[in-house]
Amino acid sequence: MADIDITKYFKPDLKEARKRSKDVSQSVYFDLADDVKGIGEGKTYKIDTYGCQANEADAEIMAGILEQMGFTKTTDETASDLIILNTCAIRENAENRIWGELGRLKSLKRTHPDLILGLSGCMAQEEVVVEKILKKYQHIDLVFGTHNIHMIPEYVKTAMLSKERVIEVFSKQGDIVENLPKARHHTHKAWINIMYGCDEFCTYCIVPYTRGQERSRHRDDIIDEVRSLVKDGYSEVTLLGQNVNAYGKDRKDGYTFGDLLNDLDQTGIKRIRFTTSHPHDLDVKTMEAIRDSKSVMPFFHLPVQSGSDRILKRMNRHYTKASYLEQLARLKDIVPGISVTTDMIVGFPGETEDDFQQTLDLVKEANFEGAFTFVYSRRAGTPAALFEDDTPEEEKKERLQRLNALVNLGYKRGHARFSGHIVEVLVDGESKHGNGMLAGYTEHNKLVNFKGDPDLIGQIVSVRVTESKTWFLIGERV
Ligand code: SAH
Ligand code: SF4
Ligand code: F3S
């Protein structure tokens, strides 16, 4: 529509987002302003989160802030006063789902005109998305990005009181914000951001643009957070970052991810997991920390993306098939029995049948016990978006099926090796199989279903594996 003044909004710019500075990030401390305290009393919110754990962790922060403002959580859309779609931009199909949702919510807004509809997360960082919302999705009241979720009180207040549209997305990250309240989803396991952003610039990937420059939290803030979780009865933390192996590099004080694991092992937390790792930054100190600590779990998600050196180079991944397999061999040597999973992309621009065969070869050699596999999706603004791509979509899908058939054998093998073993399971909740079954994960991150009393939820219990399936284990308590 021609009558909208687009210039008055703060919009994202992917070219700006690409820039990196040499400065060490500073930390600032969040404090809820007096004028927004209580403005959510008697009102409800609902956050729908898509994408990765970074988004889930962000949703817990938004929820924590909204609850400090007085809002109450609801899962009922028609009873919501505020709905936020916390979005993901990693692949086109992720975005299409969200556009569908945004369209659907238009009719809800018609019947509930006071409802505030918000969009946050990685899609909000894309200029094409914000342009489209401004022009065609006028029922969206609020758009903010990944760099300013701590400013949600101000935005919600403006949207509520002035009934104005609020669009504010920063292209560049600001300071690291500490002391953020969190309404955590679980009572026994927690996400912990240890760093934000990504500086890898894999040529297919939008994340370095939507999440900004790599910034590591100060070790003391992370250690304090884990200590307070231990006090609150938490058993497991998952350390989050797009490339956790690069933790600390930006702080330039020589303190690395391996050091952090060793220090966190002293906090008394029972289980430490982390995601995601980049093979190029993985060091022996990290492997040794897994071996030497009580709490770092013997599980490693190490995305490889492709087995073809030619494609890896075009992806800007900084390793070869051989060097990846070497890293893996070293890891398995240092931590015998460790379970390793990966991510792979098929149909990257220019991938030939021969390149794809290299990926299949690598999967056979690596003995992965699981993998997330994707067909390449073109992301506007990334370097690979300009690469020539002449493989038909049908052929890419067919490659994905062949790859998945091989990957599934790995899942099966990974579960079968625990048949008859006694495993330690952190009980997550009731199993979706019903029948009085509970479900939880082993140290090696295998899903186990077993009969047990719901009182056990949140505890770590011993279970004997009686049967192994492709996707999970079945056991009985010992
Ligand atoms: N920082 C993490 C997570 C990135 S997103 C990492 O490096 O592993 C998770 C996975 O999505 C990636 O590992 C990759 O396999 C996949 N992915 C990212 N961009 C993609 C794209 N444009 N098309 C298809 N898959 C993609
Ligand atoms: Fe994307 Fe690569 Fe960064 Fe992972 S490491 S977030 S795949 S750019
Ligand atoms: Fe998606 Fe952003 Fe995560 S693009 S995968 S939500 S970092």
In this predicted model, what pLDDT tens digit does every residue of 263-290 receive, in sequence order?
A: 999 999 999 999 999 999 999 999 999 9
Ligand 1-lining residues (CB < 6 angstroms): 90-91, 204-205, 207, 242-243, 276, 278, 303, 305, 343, 345, 374, 376-377, 379
Q: Is the pLDDT of residue 42 over 50?
A: yes
Instruction: Judge whether residue 7 has pLDDT over 90.
Output: no
Confidence of residue 65 (pLDDT cuts 50, 70, 90): very high
Domains with residue ranges and CATH for the chain: 6-168 (3.40.50.12160), 186-297 (3.30.750.210), 302-417 (3.30.750.200), 422-477 (2.40.50.140)
- Whose Cα sits closest to atom 1 in ligand 3? 88
Closest ligand to C-alpha of residue 211 is 3
pLDDT of residue 1: 39
Element (H, E) at 103: helix 92-111
Confidence (pLDDT) at 174: 85
Residue with the smallest CA separation from ligand 2 atom 1 is: 205
Cβ proximity of 135 and 159 under 8 Å: no
Is the pLDDT at 77 greater than 60? The verdict is yes
Average model confidence (pLDDT) for the chain? 95
- Report how far ligand 3's centroid is from the alpha carbon of 201 (Å): 14
Place of tokens 């290299």: 358
Q: Which of 53, 88, 203, 278 to mutate to test the pocket of ligand 2 (most atoms within 8 A of CB)?
A: 278
Q: Of the candidates 48, 39, 86, which has an alpha carbon nearest to the alpha carbon of residue 67?
A: 39
Residue 23 has pLDDT above 90, yes or no: no
pLDDT(83) > 70: yes
Which token pair is 108?
Answer: 């809800």
Nearest ligand to the C-alpha of residue 203?
A: 2
At residue 4, does pLDDT exceed 70? no
Quote the CA–CA distance of 418 and 388 in Å, as a whole number. Answer: 45
Q: 372: CA distance to ligand 3 center in Å? A: 15
Q: Are 174 and 26 in contact (CB under 8 A)?
A: no
Other Cβ atoms within 10 Å of 67 Cβ, number:
16
Q: Which residue has the higher pLDDT, 145 or 5?
A: 145
Instruction: Say yes or no to pLDDT of 48 above 80.
Output: yes
- The yes-or-no verdict on residue 3 having pLDDT over 50 is no
Would you state the pLDDT for residue 8?
55
Q: What predicted TM-score, i.e. pTM, was given to this entire model?
A: 0.96
In this prediction, residues 63-84 reach a mean pLDDT of 97
Give mean pLDDT, residues 56-62: 97
d(CA 45, CA 39): 12
Residue nearest to atom 24 of ligand 1 (CA): 376
Q: What is the mean pLDDT of residues 123-130?
A: 95
Provide the terminal-to-terminal Cα distance of the chain, rounded to the nearest Å.
66
Tokens describing residue 162: 């002035």
Which of 199, 343, 363, when mutated, tests ligand 1's pocket best, judged by the most ligand atoms within 8 Å of its CB? 343
| Size of the chain, expressed as the number of residues it contains | 478
pLDDT bin (cut points 50, 70, 90) of residue 144 is very high
pLDDT of residue 292: 97
Per-residue pLDDT, 2? 38
Ligand nearest to the CA of 304: 1
Tell me what the mean pLDDT of segment 377-383 comes to: 96
In this structure, is the dihedral angle defined by the CA atoms of residues 454, 460, 464 and 465, taken in order, positive or negative?
A: positive
Pairwise CA distance, residues 41 & 68, whole Å? 10
Using a 6 Å cutoff on CB, does residue 304 contact ligand 2?
A: no
Interval between CA 55 and ligand 3 midpoint (Å): 7
Residue having the nearest C-alpha atom to atom 5 of ligand 2: 200
- What pLDDT is attached to residue 353? 97
Query: Among 221, 188, 227, 174, which residue's Cα sits nearest to residue 10?
Result: 174
Taking the centre of ligand 2 as the mean of its atom positions, its distance from the CA of residue 275, in whole angstroms, is: 12
pLDDT tier for residue 15 given thresholds of 50, 70 and 90: confident
53-62, 171-180, 211-220, 409-418, range with the lowest pLDDT: 171-180
In degrees, to the nearest 5, what angle opens at C-alpha 119 toward C-alphas 113 and 122?
170
For ligand 2, whether the C-beta of 278 sits within 6 Å is yes
Is the per-residue pLDDT at 6 higher than 70?
no
Ligand 2 probe mutation, 20, 205, 379, most atoms within 8 A of CB? 205
Is residue 200's pLDDT more than 70? Answer: yes
* Residue among 222, 376, 369 at smallest CA distance from 301: 369
